[in-house]
Structure 1
């Protein structure tokens, strides 16, 4: 009878500890970065219009503020390509530290942008520039954080581990809303003069915390093993070389397009709730601070449901949940707009909760759903690019489109509902045509230039 190996037990505990540390780091990092990024979304809905575009009609000022919001989404795919390239070449950890540093400094600088009374229209220009920098930083953040959690995880719990990355988004959003709503309760004149700046300046404190935690995690073992295999093959075969990660991804454009279309609806619903729905509900007469707190309360619930959906995806698969989420998206659109018109804060909270929980059915499994479809040598680039282009299409332009549809139709929500329903239907059809990914191995070697097909899984259209 063999006795237990104490060294094996110690190794197992070390692995578990490292996995937990990485998952916490991914969660905390995305919480901080989405606090910064989505804080801007809230500010664009309630601050930037009257502060930087005060000479315009109120709804026109809102549309202009949403334009600066969209600039960050335009920059996110660029960030995905830049950070993805070096993350696939040099490792995940280094690029994650850099993305957090850039985001934190840009967000702090937003809180220091002078008002138009001092520099005129240059204030709006600086907002756009800093928003673009934010977009580049977060374009690299999500892919790296998701991959670190995914590639450290036990194969049977990859969906749950990766969902902590996505749970950071509602956590950051809630944190930003709570901080912003606390300051928005100030007298309106003081809030617009200086109160809105404090939440952005607090980003520097969060940055210091995040950098400390992220610096203590280990590099992805899947990436390290893949690079060791690649080096070994290159040593044996002088002609062996790995093509650029972006070229590997573009060898299978159908996969990239499918991922983008499949993920778009989740971001359209997320942005509907975090921007347009807040402005819409406030315009019906409810106090701004109360509406923001109602949304924050619903956001707290969504943190748990995001993790729950990630866990369920390890049992049921990513695909069934993504299908169910899009069906629910279509079904909740009418109540999400009808309930706020009651003027009852409890029903407003119910509307936000219905919308946000539905979004988590899509968002919980999404990190694994996307990342599992690429090989190690291009996973950072492919996952980041697919995810970030989906955010651009689903979230970047959505506030402007919805505001114009609503204003151009005499403030009717019908065109808004039809537009969002069409996006959900498009994603539903796309997901239905894609294969399941939860049982796919992550340990294959990165593709070489001589074997481009080894790095992708093509959707079954």
Structure 2
């Protein structure tokens, strides 16, 4: 006598579950990126002065700070693979709890760190270690938070839902630059003595709120359904991803690199750049970045919403076109020396150039992979794209702007256009992912009907 297959429990999320998942993903990502981007904001303004010898050339100190920044990006794919492995085998919720706790502890440690004057070479080495731990945590955070939001809603709304978690990035950037900018108004000696530390220590309060929200959220309905149906494997998810989705993974990595380069360029490089030109002081520049990041919070969901209506590929290709057209005018505004034009440059860069291609990225990557491989797949593609784009951005920009060909920021613009062209080609070669699950369900039903 044939054994009956156990019924798969109902996993349709209630409105309350969906709302709680969206809020939890948004707040958690905000806290994570507040911690992660706070280092980026401080890397060009504070760390070269405090964590390296005072006799060191300032340019070299800034470069080494950016190298440590890159170390955090390099460790992100490792964190993505690590947390993706357990997230695909045991669920999303617990992994997100752990990553948030790690980020908060590291930020507090940075805020309490002795400087080079106190412990010598141990200061930058400790900074490297803490930055690597940060990278591991963020590597597991982005994919998990994006999936928790996307997998708690109906498929037709997944672009918008995934973008809610993605907006944690600019929201964290707003908080980081706003808080650091407020303390940057202190006299120089006070800011360097203790003012820069307060934003890092404030992370503890944000983490408590984020952990509370994550404790209350339910596990991803998609994961629960896959687990009940016996689709969650006991093997190694990263090996399955590399074997099953080689081209999808490659296209995802290259599609993410271009917009992520612009994100890091604006958040890390351009503030010290405009300050060095004498156009404005560091507090004013940070406030400009903060305002553009605030607009970014609304621009990302807008472009994601467009992708729910018209598809991921059309919107992202449109964003690539906007990026190519506007990048040279953006740098012209940055080099104008005019207060209002520089403010406009930040707005052109963040909520227009960056958001137009970045808004749909959460759903674009998530829909490339099946549920049982999704955490690992999204982590791998996004974090490797982050290394290629965001992680190298400050170093590449520093090198390109210093080339002796006299083109300055024009060199950065050309490099960015190359990245965007590669990203656009990758999107063009990718299959449209909007409505993929519905199409698969229809095909399965037709095959079942024909077999009867």
Q: TM-score, normalised by structure 1?
A: 0.90
Structure 2, unmatched stretches of 5+, are 1-9, 442-452
The answer to whether the 8 A contact 2:11-2:221 is kept is no
The answer to whether the 8 A contact 2:11-2:225 is kept is no
Structure 2 residue aligned with 1:432 = 428
Q: Distance in 2 between matches of 1:317 and 1:282?
A: 40
Structure 2 residue aligned with 1:335 = 329
Q: Distance in 1 between matches of 2:430 and 2:207?
A: 38
- Cα deviation, 1:370-391, whole Å, max 9, x if unaligned, reads 0111011110000011000000
How many positions carry a matched residue from both structures?
427
Counterpart check, 1:420 vs 2:419: no
Counterpart check, 1:324 vs 2:318: yes
Q: CA deviation at 1:29?
A: 0.5
Structure 1, unmatched stretches of 5+, are 1-10, 232-239, 446-461
Structure 1 residue aligned with 2:358 = 363
Counterpart check, 1:34 vs 2:30: no
Q: Distance in 2 between matches of 1:241 and 1:154?
A: 25
- Cα deviation, 1:181-225, whole Å, max 9, x if unaligned, reads 000000111111211111001111111111011100000111011
Distance 1:335-1:227 versus aligned 2 partners, 3 A rule? same
Q: CA deviation at 1:283?
A: 1.0
Structure 2 residue aligned with 1:381 = 376
Q: Distance in 2 between matches of 1:47 and 1:321?
A: 38
Q: CA deviation at 1:26?
A: 0.4
SS where residue 377 of structure 1 aligns? Answer: helix
Q: CA deviation at 1:349?
A: 1.1
Counterpart check, 1:97 vs 2:97: yes
| Equivalent of 1:274 in 258, 267, 277 | 267
- Cα deviation, 1:143-195, whole Å, max 9, x if unaligned, reads 11111111111111010111001111000000000000000000111111211
SS where residue 432 of structure 2 aligns? Answer: coil
Q: CA deviation at 1:414?
A: 2.2
Distance 1:18-1:373 versus aligned 2 partners, 3 A rule? same
Q: Distance in 1 between matches of 2:400 and 2:229?
A: 54
Structure 2 residue aligned with 1:84 = 84
The answer to whether the 8 A contact 1:69-1:396 is kept is yes
Structure 1 residue aligned with 2:297 = 303
Structure 2 residue aligned with 1:353 = 347
The answer to whether the 8 A contact 1:376-1:444 is kept is no
Q: Distance in 1 between matches of 2:392 and 2:261?
A: 9
| Equivalent of 1:283 in 276, 287, 292 | 276
Q: Distance in 2 between matches of 1:278 and 1:413?
A: 14
Q: CA deviation at 1:275?
A: 1.2
Structure 1 residue aligned with 2:43 = 44
Q: CA deviation at 1:340?
A: 2.3
Distance 1:289-1:223 versus aligned 2 partners, 3 A rule? same
Q: Distance in 2 between matches of 1:325 and 1:105?
A: 37
Q: CA deviation at 1:90?
A: 0.5
Alignment of 1:443-454 (within 5 A): none
- Cα deviation, 1:15-40, whole Å, max 9, x if unaligned, reads 11110110010000000000000011
SS where residue 432 of structure 1 aligns? Answer: helix
Q: Distance in 1 between matches of 2:400 and 2:140?
A: 32
Q: CA deviation at 1:326?
A: 1.5
SS where residue 215 of structure 1 aligns? Answer: helix
SS where residue 218 of structure 1 aligns? Answer: coil
Q: CA deviation at 1:336?
A: 1.8
Structure 2 residue aligned with 1:230 = 230
Structure 1 residue aligned with 2:287 = 293
Q: Distance in 2 between matches of 1:143 and 1:343?
A: 39
What root-mean-square deviation, in Å, do the aligned CA atoms of Structure 1 and Structure 2 show?
Answer: 1.9
Q: Distance in 1 between matches of 2:132 and 2:323?
A: 30
Structure 2 residue aligned with 1:57 = 57
Structure 2 residue aligned with 1:243 = 235
Q: CA deviation at 1:411?
A: 7.6
Q: Distance in 2 between matches of 1:39 and 1:277?
A: 15
The answer to whether the 8 A contact 1:372-1:442 is kept is no
| Equivalent of 2:398 in 388, 403, 406 | 403
The answer to whether the 8 A contact 2:11-2:222 is kept is no
